[in-house]
């Protein structure tokens, strides 16, 4: 079983794609890792030899931040922004979009599910 | 698009002068500035800078974490007062 960075890779996928299942590795870095390790990107995870998995694991552990470590780093960055009270930090605190998107409409990923129509329904019930 | 490294960070010349003067004399005075685009350099740490927000000067105490940010990020230009209906809703719940 191919287990890299604490994640089981999906067995039936090409290794190139399978690596992207690890948090912190996208297609570009997956391709880079494979070329550094010298592994054919078209092999299915099932057919990987143990040597190859070891090589991949080494490359990833040496050069890439993945999973828990990366998530922690991101959290720390956000915490720093919040502590120094800059514009971006305030937007994070308020749960509003950070990068200047409009908030008059949309912005639902940050604000959560819409509250508007529910309130209207309640009034109608009364 | 990021700023060309060749130019170095943007720092308002007058403000830089004022700060370096303060650093030399060891004084801590509030410096007023309109230059919101100025990047905070390590020299600024420990000073309080009053950054204009379009209406008034907001005092910002510079800490080490803020280096690399711009002054304007700490002096908000908009205030959000509650929506008209929000206060009533709050009362109804409580």
Interface test with A, best of B53, B66, B83 (most A CBs within 10 A): B66
Contact A87 B74 (CB under 8 A): yes
Confidence of residue B93 (pLDDT cuts 50, 70, 90): very low
The confidence band for B86, taking pLDDT boundaries of 50, 70 and 90, is low
Mean pLDDT of all residues belonging to chain B: 83
Specify the pLDDT at position B89. 53
- pLDDT band at residue A72 under the 50/70/90 scheme: very high
Mutate to test the interface with B, among A87, A98, A100, A119 (most CBs of B within 10 A): A87
User: For chain A, how big is the Rg over CA atoms in Å?
Assistant: 21
Cα first-last separation, chain B: 49
Mean pLDDT (whole number) for B4-15: 88
The two tokens of residue A49 are 């030899």
| pLDDT interval class at B87 (50, 70, 90) | low
ipTM over 0.90: no
Total Cβ atoms within 10 A of residue A77: 12
**Dihedral of the alpha carbons of A43, A48, A51, A54, in degrees to the nearest 10:** 90
Q: Which H helix or E strand runs over A15?
A: helix A15-18
Distance from CA of B15 to the nearest CA of A (A): 20
CB-CB under 8 Å, B74 with A84: yes
B74–A85: do the CB atoms touch at under 8 Å?
A: yes
What pLDDT digit, counting tens, does each position of B45-84 carry? Answer: 888 889 999 988 989 888 888 888 888 889 888 887 777 7
């Amino acid at each position: 079983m191919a287990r890299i960075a604490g994640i089981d890779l999906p067995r039936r996928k090409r290794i190139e794609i399978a690596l992207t299942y690890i948090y912190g590795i996208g297609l570009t870095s997956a391709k880079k890792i494979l070329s550094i390790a010298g592994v054919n990107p078209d092999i299915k995870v099932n057919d990987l030899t143990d040597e190859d998995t070891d090589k991949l694991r080494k490359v990833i552990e040496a050069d890439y931040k993945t999973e828990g470590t990366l998530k922690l780093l991101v959290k720390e960055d956000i915490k720093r922004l919040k502590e120094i009270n800059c514009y971006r930090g305030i937007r994070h605190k308020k749960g509003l979009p950070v990068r200047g998107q409009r908030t008059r409409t949309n912005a639902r990923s940050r604000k959560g599910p819409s509250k508007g129509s529910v309130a209207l329904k309640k009034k109608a019930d009364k | 698009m990021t700023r060309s490294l060749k130019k170095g960070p943007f720092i308002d010349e007058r403000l830089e002068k004022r700060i370096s003067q303060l650093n030399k004399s060891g004084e801590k005075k509030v410096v007023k500035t309109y230059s919101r685009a100025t990047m905070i350099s390590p020299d600024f740490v420990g000073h309080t800078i009053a950054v204009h927000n379009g209406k008034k000067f907001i005092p910002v105490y510079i800490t080490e974490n803020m280096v690399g940010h711009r002054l304007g990020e700490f002096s908000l230009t908009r205030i959000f007062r509650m929506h008209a209906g929000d206060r009533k809703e709050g009362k109804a719940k409580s």
